[in-house]
Amino acid sequence: MKKEYDFSKGERGKFYRPGVKLNLPIYLEPDVEAFVRKYANKKKVDRQKIVNKWLRNNIETVKSVL
């Protein structure tokens, strides 16, 4: 790395896009991922759909307690 960088010709906010939705990755632990993969393959459904359904069910359970 250089000691200093010259940002004098930089443009503030050049890549800023208001309202852009970011989809951040969520990393599962290996044992959880293996179970989800096996279950999704057995049901012939996308892993993302399985995880989202389980999370939604859990959210509803927690909401009912709050």
Going by C-beta distance under 8 Å and a sequence separation of 6 or more, which residues neighbour residue 39? 50
16-44 residue pLDDT tens: 999 999 889 999 999 999 999 999 999 99
Residue 10 lies in a domain: no
**How much is the mean pLDDT over the chain?**
95
pLDDT at 66: 86
pLDDT at 19: 94
pLDDT at 52: 96
- Which residues constitute the domain of residue 61? 30-65
Residue 3 lies in a domain: no
Residue 22 lies in a domain: no
pLDDT at 2: 92
Number of domains in the chain: 1
Residue 20 lies in a domain: no
The answer, as to whether pTM is greater than 0.75, is: no
Residue 47 lies in a domain: yes
Q: Is the pLDDT of residue 60 over 90?
A: yes
